[in-house]
């Protein structure tokens, strides 16, 4: 019998070097299934590179990443996707010249739990696409070109095309970056709804209001290292985080 898997994701001394630069520098971390973890930290801290290592887009220079108890060194992004790992990107993605529905169907037939894309779009695929687009408030825009969508809807679609595959773990890189405050509120509701489904969510986000509202655990990265791992509420009072990241913003956060 295998021993029970304690963490869905575990990092042991994970590093990524670019020449002399340690973009990610010896990260140790264990994330349990069902946690919602928010990662903050200044630009260039290594957050996106860290996601690239976890999702197999970039090879580690050192250390080990375990997903569901198995090392994933050398496992490609699409294999990880078929094992239940989905991610979105900092720059909002999507096929701009296709409609919202076409984007959703493209995602569905390229996933579907099989290693190869399906060749036919069936009624079942369409029904699933409609259901998920409705959940995300995008059904009325189903026939709109993605390039014509407002930023909020493009970001929602990116999450929806990942969530449609019912991943075990979802990685979101700056899901609300660039959105207006009321749009951030809409995204908070969306992610809180997703949390209830029991999925593990790890997200990168500068918008502290979002991180505080959504995460049950916060990580702060600085120069490739983890400088904080704890309750989101504790960030504002942490001296190291204050000095390297938040500065005077910490006082503003504490004032809420
Ligand atoms: N492919 C690459 N080649 C060289 N340097 C890179 C590469 N990707 C990222 N970096 C560098 O690694 C550091 C971390 O970048 P990144 O992970 O994008 O930070 P963050 O997402 O926290 O803003 C930065 O200094 C960036 O310039
Ligand atoms: Mg980044």
Tell me the average pLDDT of the chain. Answer: 90
Least confident of 62-66, 220-224, 241-245: 241-245
Least confident of 64-68, 113-117, 232-236, 237-241: 113-117
| Residue spans per domain, the chain | 1-84+168-256, 93-166
Ion ligand 2 neighbours, Cβ < 5 Å: 47-48, 90
Per-residue pLDDT tens digits for 86-101: 999 888 778 999 999 9
- Protein residue closest via CA to atom 10 of ligand 1: 23
Higher per-residue confidence, 255 vs 13: 13
Residue matched to tokens 């050398």: 74
CA distance 213 to 233: 10
Find, among 51, 13, 27, the residue nearest to 170 by Cα: 51
CA distance 122 to 127: 9
On whether the CB atoms of residues 36 and 197 are closer than 8 A, the answer is: no
- Protein residue closest via CA to atom 18 of ligand 1: 48
Ligand 1 centroid, distance to 112 Cα (angstroms):
32
Report pLDDT for 94.
84
pLDDT at position 10 over 80: yes
Report pLDDT for 37.
98
CA distance 86 to 208: 23
Least confident of 29-33, 70-74, 117-121, 147-151: 117-121
CA distance 220 to 204: 10
Report the residue among 15, 23, 227 best suited for mutation to probe ligand 1: largest number of ligand atoms under 8 A from its CB: 23
Least confident of 18-22, 61-65, 110-114, 242-246: 110-114
Name 72's Cβ contacts closer than 8 Å, sequence gap at least 6.
56, 65, 66, 80
CA distance 14 to 59: 10
Least confident of 102-111, 135-144, 147-156: 102-111
Report the residue among 14, 15, 17, 21 best suited for mutation to probe ligand 1: largest number of ligand atoms under 8 A from its CB: 21
Q: What percent of the chain has pLDDT over 70?
A: 91
pLDDT band at 256; cut points 50, 70, 90: very low
pLDDT at position 5 over 60: no
Per-residue pLDDT tens digits for 156-199: 999 999 999 999 999 999 999 889 999 999 999 999 999 999 99
**Token code pair at residue 109:** 């037939």
pLDDT at position 250 over 70: no
Report pLDDT for 122.
85
On whether the CB atoms of residues 214 and 195 are closer than 8 A, the answer is: yes
Q: Which atom of ligand 1 is nearest to the CA of 52?
A: 17
Is 61 in a helix, a strand, or coil?
A: coil
The closest ligand to the CA of 24 turns out to be: 1
CA distance 126 to 108: 9
CA distances from 158 to 91, 226, 235, 237 (A): 10, 28, 29, 34
pLDDT at position 74 over 90: no
Ligand 2 centroid, distance to 214 Cα (angstroms):
19
On whether the CB atoms of residues 29 and 154 are closer than 8 A, the answer is: no
Evaluated on CA atoms 130, 134, 140, 144, the torsion sign reads negative
| Range of 4-13, 43-52, 247-256 with top mean pLDDT | 43-52
Q: Which atom of ligand 1 is nearest to the CA of 51?
A: 17
Within a 10 A sphere around the Cβ of 90, how many other Cβ atoms? 14
- Looking at domain 1-84+168-256, its CATH class is alpha beta
Report pLDDT for 255.
43
Report pLDDT for 246.
75
């Amino acid at each position: 019998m295998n021993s029970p898997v304690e963490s869905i994701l575990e990092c042991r001394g994970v590093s990524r070097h670019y020449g002399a630069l340690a973009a990610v520098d010896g990260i140790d971390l264990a994330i349990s299934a069902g946690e919602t973890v928010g990662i903050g930290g200044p630009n260039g801290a290594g957050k996106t590179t860290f996601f690239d290592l976890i999702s197999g887009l970039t090879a580690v220079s050192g250390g080990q990443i375990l997903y569901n108890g198995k090392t994933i060194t050398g496992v490609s992004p699409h294999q990880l996707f078929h094992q239940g790992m989905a991610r979105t990107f900092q720059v909002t993605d999507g096929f701009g010249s296709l409609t919202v529905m076409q984007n959703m169907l493209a995602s569905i037939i390229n996933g579907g739990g099989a290693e190869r894309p399906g060749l036919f779009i069936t009624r079942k695929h369409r029904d699933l696409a409609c259901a998920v687009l409705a959940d995300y408030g995008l059904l009325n825009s189903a026939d709109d070109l993605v390039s014509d969508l407002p930023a909020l809807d493009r970001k929602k679609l990116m999450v929806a095309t990942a969530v449609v595959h019912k991943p075990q773990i979802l990685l979101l890189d700056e899901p609300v970056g660039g959105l207006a405050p009321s749009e951030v509120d809409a995204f908070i509701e969306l992610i809180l709804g997703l949390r209830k489904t029991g999925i593990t969510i790890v997200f990168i986000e500068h918008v502290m209001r979002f991180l505080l509202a959504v995460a049950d655990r916060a990580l702060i990265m600085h120069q490739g290292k983890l400088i904080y791992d704890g309750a989101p509420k504790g960030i504002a009072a942490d001296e190291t985080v204050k000095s390297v990241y938040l500065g005077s913003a910490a006082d503003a956060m504490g004032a809420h």
